[in-house]
Amino acid sequence: MAIEAPEPGAVDMCSCIYGDAIVLELAMGNWKMTDTNVTIKTNDATAVIQTDTEKVADKKKAGETEIELHPIAKAMDRAIHGFRDIEECMITLLPISVSSQREQQAKLRAEVDEINGLFKSKDEKNQLHAVRMTLAFRREVERFRSSQKSQVLARSLFITIFSIFDTFTSDLIRALFNRRPELFNTIAVKVDFSELLLHDSLGPIKEKILEDEIESLRREGYTDQFKKLEKLFGINTLRDFPEWGAFIESAQRRNLLVHCDGVVSNQYLAICADNNYKVDNVKIGDRLGVSSKYMVAVVERMIKISTMLGQTLWRKILPDEKERGIADSHLNAIIYNFLSNERWCIAEELGSFACGKAILKNSAELSARISIVNLAIALKFGGKPPKAVECLDKYDWSANVWDLQLAHKVLLEDFDGAAGIMEKIGGSGQLVSEVAYHSWPLFRDFRETNQFATAYRKIYGRDFSRELQKELIAETEELTQV
């Protein structure tokens, strides 16, 4: 199996999934995420996701109630961070493993030269030492030829991808049942009366029933798992994922690596064919591996399918307005992270999902427009400016809040008009604040213009470049304290 070290040009695919911060100010509140240990703090009509550091400071304030991050959002975040870890381990560790093998090879060559030099010596002690070195050298060569450190590492990381996904689906099901207990009525199971008498309440029994159901589901292949989920939750579109065939192929490849040392079986080919995935130049008996390029594609696919599955079931099972608002905000936050890391392709695909009719028709107007802006950002900076304009032209932006009109002007590169709207918004609008000017990917090119610099100075009374410098110094000092 050939292991490909990540190429220097593959930064977009392999960069981090989450940026340093998310700032999305929505009608229902502000979303801010820097790690998985977050809570939502409610104060008046706002909702802010905070880090542990922020919580320590804010606990001193009176009149604020802390609520744990929504369990479905938490399940998705945990999975995405898990996939991110796989990606970063692959980028960091696989090259080290390959480099280690090359260093070992160079060491063995040097030993050969040393042994040959000793054999050429007329000194009997040197020749005896050469014999001892040769015997040890043979053992080292045998081990080197049998070593598959890079392959083992790549396989282990690849297999772990599916462990993360299995954990995610389990967490998702638990969250849905906990938020909507009447779902237990869909599970047909018999419970002995004697077991009922062992408990003071139905809680432990319901928990066991649910865990048994989850365990039963996880023993199935992914095709059957999704069929069961469709039946359980009354939705028949879960397998309409655009990359469904590729998802099933990667799961089947995982099975080959775990059970057959990667050797292609008839079952692998049959299941791929059943799911409309064409496998080229592969026949029974071939051995499959996992290259870095293949694994990056699988990681991105799993992020997308996890996000779409979680969001689809969230909206289906918990359709009330409050839940939809939280789901909208969380989806926009995920997309924002990809935009912040300039991963335009995956941001575009999730943005297209967020802008689909099934989601937009039930979203609040402001949230829907933010989704459209995020999609346009992904298209514009992802090399598809005409598509971005086409996306924006479907809607009338003149009646929207100034913040959205600003976004429209910036994306159309009307920088004079954008600067004028900046001044109308002032120090802070519904979406835009000084922090947003510093971090929102929307302003990626606009920040470098004279129009932006002039408007920023008028609004805040200071130079944008100096503020960036202050931020850099503060961040550097913070890093030195870690």
Q: What is the mean pLDDT of residues 299-309?
A: 97
Distance between CA atoms of residues 47 and 111, nearest Å: 65
- Predicted confidence (pLDDT) per residue in 305-324, tens digit: 999 999 999 999 999 999 99
pLDDT band for 192, please (50, 70, 90 cuts): low
Q: What is the mean pLDDT of residues 121-132?
A: 88
Collapse the DSSP code of 263 into the 3-class scheme (helix H, G, I; strand E, B; otherwise coil) and give the result: strand
Q: What is the mean pLDDT of residues 174-179?
A: 93
pLDDT band for 57, please (50, 70, 90 cuts): very low
How far is residue 185 from each of residues 232, 317, 377, measured CA to CA in Å? 10, 14, 44
Q: What is the mean pLDDT of residues 39-43?
A: 34
Q: What is the mean pLDDT of residues 116-124?
A: 88
Query: Domain residues of the chain, as ranges?
Result: 11-148
pLDDT band for 37, please (50, 70, 90 cuts): very low
pLDDT at 74 over 60: yes
Torsion (CA) 469, 475, 479, 481 in degrees, nearest 10:
100
Query: Which pLDDT score is estimated for 122?
Result: 82
For the ranges 43-57, 136-150, 458-472, the lowest mean pLDDT is seen at 43-57
The closest of 96, 84, 86, 17 to 290, measured between CA atoms, is 86
Query: Which pLDDT score is estimated for 165?
Result: 97
Residue 235 token pair = 């939705």
Distance between CA atoms of residues 186 and 174, nearest Å: 14
